[in-house]
């Protein structure tokens, strides 16, 4: 049985199985660094549980007789696009082909899910290791399939972020949006404004039980490490510096950024909407230009997120002027501006992107030709509780069951926004109540795969089918040590 998430575009089962053995080899064609790296990731995933050597060889150099798993780029199959793949499994061989390396990476993720759950074990397991015969052809619905992680309310270190990247990429997500600055913390070292991290990086939200938490921040080397790790998993990092509101950590570090020229005390509560940069001072725009410039230089992806949400301490005209000026600064550093949907009130360039969450400005952004990312809070704010008994999480957008996070249609989410404006979907994990990676995993799983399927699968989305496929993931998460919520909506195997 194939229990795949996200559901592929087409699956044609055939009879029989291919079985991985101690003689299986992996061949690659062409033997470029990218194709080699994907093969290495596959081998690294299969070796611990199987104990097999699984050597990697350029395709011509291996005798065609032994059992093979081949990874090949097909220059002619342009219909597969940047991310599509075909996986053809017979009793004799596994042939994975793609037009581009990202497609091979996604084919590998599918291959993982076709093997028994024990393949995810870090130590040898008895096997056997069958793969069901058949042909899968698979391309994504949307180019943007994201997860936002709030590292500002509580800080999550490099190892935690890499773990999140691995778990997200396994479900074919391709954007990691890092919410790097908010009222409670500034999490990225900026060389031209060193107090941001030194002062603003010290704080974090005091949790409801009265506990205080250490802050933390990424050095520029840490951030580069995250970006490179993400890139190796075909994930683009989208850094966010939230402004002009949600800026108390910066306002505590530099007096001159404040409207009254006085530093603000640190803030560890969870209210929103009280802070603002001084919108009428030139120093503010020099600050933004410096921060955006350093972040842009560290970020190979096309996008830079400037927040723009809940600027409740700012009047609308000032807000609009501010966003339009920041849009120019971001463009000046060669990036596309992304902002929460409130930026739809400003004049947007068609290269800018608005992220829908709740307040009703996404249609205005789309009407100007901007792209729209869907993060509807009542569906994909995975910091909301599962139900009234969930020990973690908030509830302002309602409770979000596994079904609620899955069972919605991107194309009908926003009346007045055409499907052609939709770049894709993004789950958001705000961290006011979350302090450890186990808690992050508990809120993401089992809901995140449902959002991933909304982003990837154009067809075959159905709650009953999904529920059965999700049930099969539990045994994998156990092997991976994922601390998922055993929701009663799913009959776990
Ligand atoms: C709203 S969504 C916020 C965040 C909070 C979140 C908590 C958005 C753009 N702003 O500041 O962390 O709710 O769920």
3-state helix, strand, coil in the chain (%, to 5): 35, 20, 45
Q: 90 CA distance to ligand 1 centroid (A)?
A: 49
Cα–Cα distance list, 358 to 264, 298, 301, 361, 374 (Å) = 29, 31, 26, 8, 10
Residue 310 falls in the annotated catalytic set:
yes
Name residue 425's beta-bridge partners.
145, 374
Helix H or strand E segment including 26: strand 25-29
For strands 129-138 and 25-29, give the pairing: unpaired
pTM, to two decimals? 0.97
In this structure, the residue with its CA closest to atom 7 of ligand 1 is: 430
Answer for the pair 36, 56: CB distance below 8 angstroms, yes or no.
Answer: yes
Say how many CA atoms lie within 13 Å of 336 toward its Cβ: 15
Using alpha carbons, list the distances in angstroms from residue 85 to 77, 100, 234, 387: 9, 9, 14, 38
**What are the residues facing 97 on neighbouring strands?**
72, 86
Three-state SS sequence of 32-86: CHHHHHHHHHHHHHHHHHHCCCCCEEEHHHCCCCCCEEEEEECCCCHHHCCCCEE
| Phi and psi at residue 138, to the nearest 5° | -150, 125
- Verify whether ligand 1 is closer than 6 Å to residue 37 (CB atom): no
Which of 83, 310, 426, 432 does the annotation list as catalytic? Answer: 310
Which pairing describes strands 10-20 and 25-29: parallel, antiparallel, or unpaired? unpaired
Structural tokens at position 459: 């067809």
Take residue 14 and report the two structure tokens written for it.
Answer: 């055939």
Which residue bears the tokens 């409740």? 312
Q: Is ligand 1 within 6 A of the CB of residue 430? A: yes
pLDDT value for 67:
79
Instruction: Answer whether 183 contacts ligand 1 (Cβ < 6 A).
Output: no
Contact between residue 453 and residue 406 where contact means Cβ atoms under 8 Å apart: yes
Let me know: does 296 contact 334? Beta carbons within 8 Å.
yes
383 Cβ inside 6 Å of ligand 1: yes
Location of structure tokens 């199959």: 77
What is the pairing mode between strands 303-307 and 236-243?
A: parallel
| Spatial separation of the C-alpha atoms in residues 335 and 331, rounded to whole Å | 5
List, in order, residues 6 or more apart from 242 with CB less than 8 Å away: 152, 179, 181, 182, 306, 307, 308, 309
Taking the CA of residue 150 as reference, the ligand 1 atom at the shortest distance is: 12
Query: How far apart are alpha carbons 295 and 289 in whole angstroms?
Result: 10
How much is the pLDDT for 65? Answer: 60
Ligand 1 atom nearest to CA at 310: 10
Q: How many CB atoms lie within 10 A of CB 302?
A: 13
Q: How many CB atoms lie within 10 A of CB 156?
A: 22
Q: Chain centroid to CA 131: how far?
A: 28
Mutate to test the pocket of ligand 1, among 430, 431, 433 (most ligand atoms within 8 A of CB): 430
Kindly report the number of other CB atoms within 10 A of residue 428's CB atom. Answer: 22
- Rounded to 5 degrees, φ, ψ at 23 are -95, -5
| Ligand 1 geometric centre to CA of 396 (Å) | 10
DSSP string, 299-343: --SSEEEEE----TTS-HHHHHHHHHHHHHHHHHTT-EEEEEGGG
Q: Which residues are 340's β-sheet partners?
A: 355
Cis bond upstream, residue 6 (ω within 30): yes
110 Cβ contact list (under 8 Å, min separation 6): 4, 8, 85, 87, 136, 138
Mutational pocket test of ligand 1: of 181, 309, 393, the residue with most ligand atoms within 8 Å of the beta carbon: 309
| Spatial separation of the C-alpha atoms in residues 83 and 99, rounded to whole Å | 8
List the end-to-end C-alpha distance of the chain, in Å, as a whole number. 14
Q: Which helix (H) or strand (E) holds 133?
A: strand 129-138
Tell whether ligand 1 has an atom less than 6 A from the beta carbon of residue 394.
yes
CB of 311 sitting under 6 A from ligand 1: no
CA angle 268/384/427 to nearest 5° reads 100
Q: What is the pLDDT along the chain (493 residues), one digit of tens a residue?
A: 689 999 999 999 999 999 999 999 999 999 999 999 999 999 999 999 999 999 999 997 755 566 799 999 999 999 999 999 999 999 999 999 999 999 999 999 999 999 999 999 999 999 999 999 999 999 999 999 999 999 999 999 999 999 999 999 999 999 999 999 999 999 999 999 999 999 999 999 999 999 999 999 999 999 999 999 999 999 999 999 999 999 999 999 999 999 999 999 999 999 999 999 999 999 999 999 999 999 999 999 999 999 999 999 999 999 999 999 999 999 999 999 999 999 999 999 999 999 999 989 999 999 999 999 999 999 999 999 999 999 999 999 999 999 999 999 999 999 999 999 999 999 999 999 999 999 999 999 999 999 999 999 998 899 999 999 999 999 999 999 999 999 999 999 8
CA of 396, closest atom in ligand 1: 14
Ligand 1 center from residue 378 Cα (angstroms): 12
């Amino acid at each position: 049985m194939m229990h795949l998430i996200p559901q592929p575009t087409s699956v044609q089962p055939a009879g029989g199985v291919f079985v991985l053995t101690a003689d299986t080899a992996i061949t690659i064609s062409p033997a470029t660094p990218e194709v080699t790296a994907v093969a290495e990731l596959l081998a690294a995933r299969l070796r611990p549980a199987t104990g097999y050597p699984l050597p990697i060889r350029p395709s011509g150099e291996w005798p065609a007789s032994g059992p093979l798993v081949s990874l090949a780029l097909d220059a002619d199959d342009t219909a597969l696009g940047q991310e599509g793949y075909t996986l053809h499994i017979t009793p004799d061989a596994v042939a994975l082909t793609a037009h581009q390396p990202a497609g091979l990476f996604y084919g590998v993720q599918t291959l993982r899910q076709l093997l028994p759950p024990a393949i995810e074990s870090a130590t040898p397991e008895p096997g056997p290791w069958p793969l069901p015969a058949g042909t899968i052809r698979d391309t994504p619905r949307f180019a943007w399939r994201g997860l936002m992680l709030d590292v500002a309310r509580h800080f999550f270190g490099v190892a935690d972020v890499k773990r999140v990247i691995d778990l997200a990429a396994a479900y074919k997500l391709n954007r990691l949006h890092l919410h790097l600055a908010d009222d409670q913390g500034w999490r990225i070292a900026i060389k031209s404004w060193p107090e941001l991290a030194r002062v603003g990086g010290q704080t974090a939200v005091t949790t409801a039980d009265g506990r205080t938490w250490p802050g933390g921040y990424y050095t520029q080397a840490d951030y580069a490490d995250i970006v490179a790790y993400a890139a190796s998993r075909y994930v683009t990092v989208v850094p966010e510096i939230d402004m002009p509101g949600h800026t108390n950590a910066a306002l505590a570090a530099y007096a001159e950024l404040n409207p009254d020229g006085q530093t603000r005390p640190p803030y560890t509560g969870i209210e929103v909407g009280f802070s603002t940069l001084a919108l009428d001072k030139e120093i503010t725009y020099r600050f933004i230009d410096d921060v955006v410039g350093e972040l842009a230089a560290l970020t190979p992806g096309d996008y830079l997120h400037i927040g723009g949400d809940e600027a409740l301490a700012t009047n609308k005209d000032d807000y609009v002027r501010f966003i339009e000026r920041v849009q120019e600064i971001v463009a000046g550093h060669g990036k596309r501006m992304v902002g929460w949907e409130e930026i739809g009130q400003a004049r947007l360039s068609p290269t800018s992107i608005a992220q829908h969450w709740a307040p009703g400005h996404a249609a205005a952004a789309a009407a100007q030709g901007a792209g729209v990312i869907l993060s509807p809070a009542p569906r994909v704010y995975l910091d909301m509780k599962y139900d009234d008994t969930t020990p973690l999480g908030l509830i302002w957008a309602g409770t979000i069951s596994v079904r609620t996070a899955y069972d919605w249609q991107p194309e009908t989410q926003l009346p007045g926004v055409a499907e052609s404006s939709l770049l894709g979907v993004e789950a958001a994990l705000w961290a006011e109540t979350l302090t450890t990676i186990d808690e992050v995993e508990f809120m993401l799983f089992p809901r995140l795969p449902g959002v991933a399927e909304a982003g990837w699968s154009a067809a075959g989305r159905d709650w009953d089918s999904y529920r059965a496929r999700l049930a099969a993931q539990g045994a994998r998460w156990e092997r991976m040590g994922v601390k998922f919520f055993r929701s009663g909506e799913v009959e776990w195997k």
